[in-house]
Amino acid sequence: MKTKSIWGNPPKRLYKLLNIIKSENRENPEVCIVGCSDGKFLMPFARAEIKVTGYDIDEIALYGGEKLFPVKEENKIYAYNAKFKSKDYPLEKRRVYGVCERLQLENLEAFANVKLLDFYRNPPNDKFDLVFTSCSLHYSKNAEFSLLDKVQKLGSIVKKGGYLYVDYMMAIDEDDYENYPDSKFFRKGQIKNMLSDSFEIISIKENSYPSFEGAHVDCVKDHFHRFGYIFARRIK
Ligand SMILES: C[S@@+](CC[C@H](N)C(=O)[O-])C[C@H]1O[C@@H](n2cnc3c(N)ncnc32)[C@H](O)[C@@H]1O
């Protein structure tokens, strides 16, 4: 039985990373997804029979349970406006699968190791061939740690010769530190100076404009994001 993430399907770039790991013929490669949620980015590795570890602080996303979803009659897209105010949508509880249930249903438990762990508070000592995180850095739970500290913790679990991939949130108004505090939101070009000279940057992309995101589970109002991502390799 093939299961689905409540966050939809992973983007093509996830499969590019998976193919890099496969094509290099590494001996028993190990991947780590920091903030694995219900497995959107973890399941493709397990399905490819690549050993994958996932950490998250969200018990429902790991083990299953009920979450609140906004109920919308239509999916409208809005253009960015600094004064934008979202509608209040009615909410309904739905049962969601956790990543552990998904692994069991797809008979993939042998390829995955999922742990309830606050990664930025307690980074493990393990090392991985690929460390991947998508939008975990800005969580309020992690706001007491600087972005530099969090990026370095991610870098610390990458093996020599291994890769680091980070999707991150950027400040929509870079001068506004109240709504976009610097412990949560990156400014343009900031992340590349946070990786030590142990890393070479392979690619970096930072959007100049915010993109619209409709209300969804865990963020039940329509909102805007400005994203960036970095892909780097540990060379020493
Ligand atoms: C934005 S969600 C990922 C959602 C989805 N996979 C996507 O990007 O489409 C980021 C995940 O990081 C997790 N997270 C945030 N801070 C964390 C921490 N300190 N340790 C472990 N997981 C964390 C959250 O619980 C959440 O499940």
Q: What is the pLDDT of residues 14-66, one digit of tens each?
A: 999 999 999 999 999 999 999 999 999 999 999 999 999 999 999 999 999 99
Mean pLDDT in residue range 6-17: 96
Is the distance from the beta carbon of residue 58 to the nearest atom of ligand 1 less than 6 Å? Answer: yes
What are 3's two structure tokens? 């299961």
What are 85's two structure tokens? 């105010």
User: What is the pairing mode between strands 158-169 and 227-234?
Assistant: antiparallel
What are 114's two structure tokens? 């999922």
Q: Is the pLDDT of residue 125 over 90?
A: yes
Helix (H) or strand (E) holding 148: helix 147-156
Mean pLDDT in residue range 130-152: 97
Q: How far apart, in Å, are the Cα atoms of 138 and each of 43, 169, 170, 186?
A: 23, 7, 9, 9
How far apart (Å, rounded) are the C-alpha atoms in residues 211 and 36?
23
**pLDDT attached to residue 118:** 98
CA angle (226, 143, 71) in 5-degree steps:
55
Average pLDDT, the chain: 96
**pLDDT attached to residue 53:** 98
| Nearest residue to 41 via CA among 131, 176, 144, 171 | 131
Is the distance from the beta carbon of residue 30 to the nearest atom of ligand 1 less than 6 Å? Answer: no
Confidence of residue 74 (pLDDT cuts 50, 70, 90): confident
**pLDDT attached to residue 1:** 87
Sign of CA dihedral 174, 178, 179, 185: positive
What are 194's two structure tokens? 């946070």
Q: Where are the beta strands (DSSP E) in the chain?
A: 30-34, 51-56, 65-70, 91-96, 112-116, 128-134, 158-169, 199-206, 211-213, 223-225, 227-234
Is the distance from the beta carbon of residue 173 to the nearest atom of ligand 1 less than 6 Å? Answer: no
Question: What is the 74 CA–ligand 1 centroid distance (Å)?
Answer: 27
| Nearest residue to 74 via CA among 222, 198, 225, 231 | 222
pTM: 0.96
Q: Residue 174 has what DSSP assignment?
A: T
- Residue closest by Cα to atom 9 of ligand 1: 7
Domains and CATH numbers, the chain: 30-234 (3.40.50.150)
Question: What is the 200 CA–ligand 1 centroid distance (Å)?
Answer: 25
**pLDDT attached to residue 155:** 98
Confidence of residue 71 (pLDDT cuts 50, 70, 90): very high
- Residue closest by Cα to atom 15 of ligand 1: 136
- Residue closest by Cα to atom 12 of ligand 1: 35
How far apart (Å, rounded) are the C-alpha atoms in residues 156 and 55?
15
**pLDDT attached to residue 26:** 95
Quick count: other Cβ atoms within 10 Å of Cβ 39? 33
Contacts of 144 (CB under 8 A, 6+ apart): 183
CB 10 within 8 A of CB 38: no
pLDDT tens-digit map of 89-124 = 999 999 999 999 999 999 999 999 999 999 999 999
